[in-house]
C-alpha cells in the first residue's frame, strides 16, 4: 500500500470513529449536563462527582463493547436509574451469543431478581417448554428484558427507567445482531414500538425495532393466568420458526 493510500485509509477510519462517537455524545456527557432529577441524593452525588472530575459515564451504554461478557461486567453495577439501588441482582440476559432470535420481556420479576437470570420462574419454565415444542432450546436463542433491574412489586417500567436502560438493550442487540426480535407481552411490545395499541392488534404481523424485524407474542406469565391463550401463543412460535427458517424479514413477505 502506498503512503498516500495508507494516509487515506487512516483518515477514513478516524472519520468513521468520530461519526460513531457523535451518536453517543449524550452518554459520554460531552455536550450537556446530565439530568439527575430521577436519582436519589446518593446516586446524584456519585454522578456529579464523576462529571466534575471529568470522568466519563461509569456505566456507558455504548463503549462500544466487543462482547456481551465485556458489556455485562462493565455495567452490572449500574445506577443510571433508581432501580439500581433496590435490586438484589442485575439481570443482563442469557442464551447464545450467536442467537438468530432474541426474546425481550419488560423487566425481571422476583425470581429473576433473586438469581440474576432472565425468565427463570414458572413463566420461564413455560417459555422453555414452548420452545422445546418447536424444537428449540433456551441455549440457542437469547432472552433478556428492557430493564435489567426489577421494578418494585413488578410494576410497569417507568419512562425515565426505560430512557436509561433501553440504551443497554440497543447495545446488546448491536453485539448480538440477530435475525429477528420477539417481544414477550404487551408491555414489552408497546414500550419498544412506542404505541398504546392492544396486544391483539400487534400480534400476527411483523414490525421493526432498531432496523430488525420485530414479532410480538404473549408473555408466558399471561399464559399461566389464561391457558386458553396457549394454542394461539404456540402458533405464534410456529410462525416465528417458519420466518427464521425461510429468512423472512419484511412485513410484506409474511403470509
Footprint of ligand SF4 (CB under 6 A):
78-81, 83-84, 147-149, 161, 164-165
Question: Min. distance of Cβ 82 from ligand SF4 in angstroms?
Answer: 7
Question: Min. distance of Cβ 62 from ligand SF4 in angstroms?
Answer: 14
Task: Give the Å distances, CA to CA, from 217 to 28, 91, 117.
Answer: 35, 22, 21
Question: Min. distance of Cβ 76 from ligand SF4 in angstroms?
Answer: 8
Q: How far apart are CA 209 and CA 44, in angstroms?
A: 32
For 33, phi then psi, to 5°, come to -85, 125
Q: How many CA atoms lie within 13 A of 44 on its CB side?
A: 9
The three cell numbers of residue 125 are 419454565
Q: How many CA atoms lie within 13 A of 207 on its CB side?
A: 21
Do the beta carbons of residue 179 and residue 213 sit within 8 Å?
Answer: yes
Question: Min. distance of Cβ 83 from ligand SF4 in angstroms?
Answer: 4
Cβ proximity to ligand SF4: between 78 and 120 the closer is: 78
Cβ proximity to ligand SF4: between 167 and 221 the closer is: 167
Cβ proximity to ligand SF4: between 148 and 203 the closer is: 148
Question: Min. distance of Cβ 117 from ligand SF4 in angstroms?
Answer: 15
DSSP state of 90: -
Cβ proximity to ligand SF4: between 84 and 121 the closer is: 84
Cβ proximity to ligand SF4: between 81 and 182 the closer is: 81
Nearest to 79 by CA among 182, 173, 164: 164
Do the beta carbons of residue 188 and residue 105 sit within 8 Å?
Answer: yes
Question: Min. distance of Cβ 176 from ligand SF4 in angstroms?
Answer: 17
Nearest to 184 by CA among 69, 93, 90, 86: 93
Cβ proximity to ligand SF4: between 144 and 189 the closer is: 144
Cβ proximity to ligand SF4: between 120 and 149 the closer is: 149
Place of cell 459515564: 57
Question: Min. distance of Cβ 18 from ligand SF4 in angstroms?
Answer: 27
Nearest to 27 by CA among 93, 75, 90, 89: 75
Helix (H) or strand (E) holding 159: helix 159-176
Amino acid at each position: 500500500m502506498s503512503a498516500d493510500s495508507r494516509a487515506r485509509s487512516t483518515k477514513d477510519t478516524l472519520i468513521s470513529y468520530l461519526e460513531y462517537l457523535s451518536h453517543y455524545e449524550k452518554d459520554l456527557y460531552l455536550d450537556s449536563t446530565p439530568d439527575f432529577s430521577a436519582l436519589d441524593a446518593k446516586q446524584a452525588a456519585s454522578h456529579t462527582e464523576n462529571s466534575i472530575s471529568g470522568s466519563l459515564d461509569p456505566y456507558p451504554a455504548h463503549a462500544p463493547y466487543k462482547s456481551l461478557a465485556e458489556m455485562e461486567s462493565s455495567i452490572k453495577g449500574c445506577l443510571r436509574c433508581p432501580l439500581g439501588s433496590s435490586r438484589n441482582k442485575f439481570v443482563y440476559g442469557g442464551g447464545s451469543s450467536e442467537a438468530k432470535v432474541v426474546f425481550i420481556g419488560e423487566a425481571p420479576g422476583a425470581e429473576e431478581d433473586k438469581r440474576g437470570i432472565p425468565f427463570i420462574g414458572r413463566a420461564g419454565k413455560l417459555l422453555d417448554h414452548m420452545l422445546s415444542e418447536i424444537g428449540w432450546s433456551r441455549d440457542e436463542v437469547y432472552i433478556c428484558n428492557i430493564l435489567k433491574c426489577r421494578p418494585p412489586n413488578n410494576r410497569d417500567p417507568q419512562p425515565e427507567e426505560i430512557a436509561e436502560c433501553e440504551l443497554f438493550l440497543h447495545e446488546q442487540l448491536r453485539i448480538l445482531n440477530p435475525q429477528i426480535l420477539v417481544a414477550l407481552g404487551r408491555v414489552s411490545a408497546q414500550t419498544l414500538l412506542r404505541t398504546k395499541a392492544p396486544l391483539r392488534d400487534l400480534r400476527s404481523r411483523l414490525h421493526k425495532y432498531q432496523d430488525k424485524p420485530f414479532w410480538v407474542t404473549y408473555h408466558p406469565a399471561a399464559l399461566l393466568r389464561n391457558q386458553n391463550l396457549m394454542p394461539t401463543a404456540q402458533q405464534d412460535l410456529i410462525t416465528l420458526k417458519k420466518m427464521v427458517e425461510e429468512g423472512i424479514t419484511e412485513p410484506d413477505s409474511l403470509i
